[in-house]
């Protein structure tokens, strides 16, 4: 338990929370196991839960182009990112805010252990303990805004490449 | 004052807040005026405040390509969005979470009135009233995540166009 708390307190989502507060969040979380190669979530599906990786490695697989435009059997139009428990990562976090389509597929690269937090449980806890709600949402909003900054930069690079390619034609 | 409260309660940022709670946020906000054509914030500058548009229209101007790659004197590599007070919009909201570079330039298209909220003032208020902190951050995180979804879609479209252009060559 102590090892788990140490791990969780280094997760960005729990930054600034006391051990007591993290314990309270654990009461609404569910420990889930996935086997190697199992799919945890699929791009385009509606999600209502987020995950904290406790053990193992997952692959995040994102389609880069619109459906029907590219053959994707060779995975050429996909981008892969690895998330390792060692970095205390989370994924699917936008589902805590609202039910929405998953923007990536996540697959277990090794056997994995996660903590799963469902939106409704989180919002109920937050409404009964605003301090926990505030601290987690501050962290969550920062995580989402850093992802936004990253995608913004990617979009600028893409437009730059596109404008260079078009200029050469 | 009643008209102002009516306007503010329709702003996404204040969704779910009581009139009393909005009043409390107003005590840490500052009413600011900008003249037509004045620049409110500049892309790339560090910002520590967000704005709620009360009166007027602003232009949001975003550079699409990396510096030095394209001539931008003709504005070809920029995208323009208009925000009208009638839609109760906010801008610069990521500055409430952390000091960060502005991702767009914002210019007053007409004379404008805004409420400005500074990060430090907001965080101090939130630490003294977690319910207000929680509700505003829930709204803010939803605003940021909807912007993320939009930029994600743009990036997918860009990659699609790029892959089609490259395939033709």
Q: Which chain B positions have a beta carbon within 8 Å of A94's beta carbon?
A: 145, 148
Write the residue in B98, B145, B154 that is nearest to A155 by C-beta: B154
Strand order in the sheet with B57-63: B39-41, B105-108, B57-63, B78-84
Instruction: Give the model's pLDDT for residue A162.
Output: 86
Instruction: Give the model's pLDDT for residue A169.
Output: 67
Instruction: Pick the residue from chain A with its C-alpha nearest to B162.
Output: A162
Least confident of B9-23, B57-71, B104-118, B137-151: B57-71
Query: Which of B102, B15, B108, B104 minimizes the C-alpha distance to B53?
Result: B108
Mutate: best of A21, A137, A146, partner B, most B CBs <10 A: A137
Instruction: Give the model's pLDDT for residue A1.
Output: 77
Q: Is the pLDDT of residue B46 over 90?
A: yes
Q: Is the pLDDT of residue B20 over 90?
A: yes
ipTM: 0.90
Instruction: Give the model's pLDDT for residue A107.
Output: 97
Instruction: Give the model's pLDDT for residue B118.
Output: 97
Higher-pLDDT residue of B64, A113: A113
Q: Which chain B positions have a beta carbon within 8 Å of A92's beta carbon?
A: none
Higher-pLDDT residue of A82, A162: A82
Residue ranges of chain B whose CB lies within 8 Å of a chain A CB: 63-66, 69-70, 77, 94, 97-98, 100, 103, 126, 130-131, 133-134, 137-138, 140-142, 144-145, 147-149, 151-152, 154-166, 169
Q: What are phi and psi of B117, to 5 degrees?
A: -120, 125
Instruction: Give the model's pLDDT for residue B35.
Output: 98
Instruction: Average the pLDDT over B49-61 and give the result.
Output: 96
Instruction: Average the pLDDT over A57-80 and give the result.
Output: 76
Instruction: Give the model's pLDDT for residue B72.
Output: 53
pTM listed for this prediction:
0.91
Higher-pLDDT residue of B47, B3: B47
Q: How far apart are CA B134 and CA A156, in angstroms?
A: 33
Whether B162 and A161 have beta carbons less than 8 Å apart is answered as: yes
Instruction: Give the model's pLDDT for residue B161.
Output: 86
Instruction: Average the pLDDT over B17-38 and give the result.
Output: 97
Contact (CB<8Å) A156/B63? yes
Domains of chain B: 2-168 (2.60.120.10)
Q: Is the pLDDT of residue B11 over 60?
A: yes
Instruction: Give the model's pLDDT for residue B67.
Output: 72
Instruction: Give the model's pLDDT for residue A64.
Output: 81
Q: How far apart are CA A30 and CA A101, in angstroms?
A: 22
Q: Is the pLDDT of residue A75 over 70?
A: no
Q: How far apart are CA A10 and CA A87, in angstroms?
A: 9
In chain B, the percentage of residues whose pLDDT exceeds 90 is 69
Instruction: Give the model's pLDDT for residue A160.
Output: 87
Higher-pLDDT residue of A22, B159: A22
Instruction: Give the model's pLDDT for residue B169.
Output: 67
Q: What value does the mean pLDDT of chain A take? A: 91
Instruction: Average the pLDDT over B3-9 and give the result.
Output: 90
Instruction: Give the model's pLDDT for residue B157.
Output: 87
Instruction: Average the pLDDT over A137-153 and give the result.
Output: 93
């Amino acid at each position: 338990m102590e090892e788990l708390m140490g791990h969780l307190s280094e997760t960005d989502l729990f930054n600034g929370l006391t051990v007591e507060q993290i314990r309270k969040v654990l009461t609404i979380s569910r420990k889930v196991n996935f086997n190697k190669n199992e799919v945890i979530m699929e791009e385009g599906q509606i999600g209502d839960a987020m995950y904290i990786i406790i053990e193992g490695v997952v692959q995040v697989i994102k389609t880069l182009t619109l459906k029907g435009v590219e053959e994707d059997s060779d995975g050429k139009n996909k981008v892969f990112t690895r998330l390792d428990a060692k970095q205390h990562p989370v994924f699917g976090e936008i589902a805590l805010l609202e039910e929405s389509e998953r923007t990536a597929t996540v697959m277990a690269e090794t056997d994995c252990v996660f903590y799963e937090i469902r939106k409704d449980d989180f919002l109920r806890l937050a409404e009964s303990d605003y301090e926990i709600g505030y601290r987690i949402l501050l962290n969550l909003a920062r995580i989402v805004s850093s992802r936004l900054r990253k995608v913004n930069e990617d979009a600028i690079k893409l437009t730059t490449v596109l404008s260079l390619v078009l200029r050469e034609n």
